[in-house]
């Protein structure tokens, strides 16, 4: 079921509730990566919705959601998710995120611990490093000055390995279209958010079952960043996915679904 709702500050959020498993099934909320949309989770959602309720949504500034030009933060996006969960009457959920979505998932677990029953962090980090504000602003400036098309080759090579790009051209083309359809001003705001984001101080407060997963060939958030998350979150697991790059929910959905199933089993 695809629908829309408005946040407390008036931003319209587009979402899909995959609830074929019934209202008493485990709940899983999924947060997508920068400049893409909820469709990166399609195969994972299809797999998990056999025995879980799954909520996917387009973050503000992305996809079919509203595009307000305010200051974006992981905490603001986490609040959007909390309000969306209120709207669909979910008191709590396992929250998973890929890349940007992983930062949002961390912020959610830190800010709403009572509403987080588990955490799955995929191809992500709590902090991009000391040079991140400069690097991310440069990327946003490229999109603004040269158009999003100037970033496509850079992005697709990061998203997926060579074999996946060759064998799944329709999927790659579909996500490139999503990327090109972005409001470039919102893209700039989101790049600033990622450059400035630093969630490290809150990770010690995360006490729920947590799985960290990363593509072996992820150049955007390398294995070392996943290892740092694993070390910072007590009791977490770490999985390095052979041959995976940065959007493993699309590239390796079965493996990602397995990480969620592990957390679902622990969260019962």
Please give the chain's pLDDT, 268 residues, in tens: 779 999 999 999 999 999 766 778 999 999 999 999 999 999 999 999 999 999 999 999 999 999 999 999 999 999 999 999 999 999 999 999 999 999 999 999 999 999 999 999 999 999 999 999 999 999 999 999 999 999 999 999 999 999 999 999 999 999 999 999 999 999 999 999 999 999 999 999 999 999 999 999 999 999 999 999 999 999 999 999 999 999 999 999 999 999 999 999 999 7
CA distance 54 to 190: 25
CA distance 74 to 106: 8
Asked whether the beta carbons of 130 and 198 are under 8 A apart, the reply is: no
Asked whether the beta carbons of 120 and 260 are under 8 A apart, the reply is: yes
- Residue spans of the domains in the chain: they are 2-129+198-267
CA distance 175 to 160: 11
> What are the two backbone dihedrals, phi and then psi, of residue 101, each rounded to the nearest 5 degrees?
-60, -30
Q: Helices 100-111 and 184-196 meet at what angle, rounded to 10?
A: 60
Q: Helices 169-180 and 152-159 meet at what angle, rounded to 10?
A: 130
The CATH topology of domain 2-129+198-267 is Rossmann fold (3.40.50)
pLDDT of residue 168: 97
């Amino acid at each position: 079921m695809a629908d829309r709702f408005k946040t407390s500050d008036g931003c319209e959020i587009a979402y899909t509730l995959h609830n074929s498993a019934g209202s008493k099934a485990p709940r899983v909320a999924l947060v997508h990566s920068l400049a893409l949309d909820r469709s990166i989770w399609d195969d994972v959602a299809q797999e998990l919705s056999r025995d879980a309720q799954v909520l996917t949504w387009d973050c503000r500034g992305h996809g079919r959601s509203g595009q307000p030009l305010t200051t974006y933060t992981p905490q603001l996006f986490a609040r959007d998710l909390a309000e969306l969960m209120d709207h669909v009457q979910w008191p709590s959920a396992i929250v998973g995120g890929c890349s940007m979505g992983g930062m949002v998932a961390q912020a959610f677990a830190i800010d709403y611990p009572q509403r987080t029953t588990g955490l799955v962090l995929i191809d992500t980090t709590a902090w991009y490093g000391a040079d991140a504000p400069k690097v991310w602003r440069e990327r946003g400036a490229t999109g603004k000055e040269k158009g999003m098309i100037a970033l496509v080759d850079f992005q697709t090579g990061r998203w997926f390995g060579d074999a996946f790009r060759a064998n799944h051209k329709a999927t790659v083309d579909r996500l490139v279209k999503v990327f090109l359809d972005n409001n470039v001003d919102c893209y700039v705001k989101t790049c600033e958010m990622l450059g400035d984001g630093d969630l490290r101080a809150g990770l010690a407060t995360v006490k729920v079952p947590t799985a960290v997963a990363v593509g072996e060939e992820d150049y955007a958030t390398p294995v070392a960043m996943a290892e740092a998350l694993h070390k910072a979150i007590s009791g977490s697991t770490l999985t390095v996915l052979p041959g995976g790059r940065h959007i493993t929910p699309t590239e390796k959905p079965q493996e990602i679904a397995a990480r969620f199933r592990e957390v679902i089993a622990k969260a019962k």
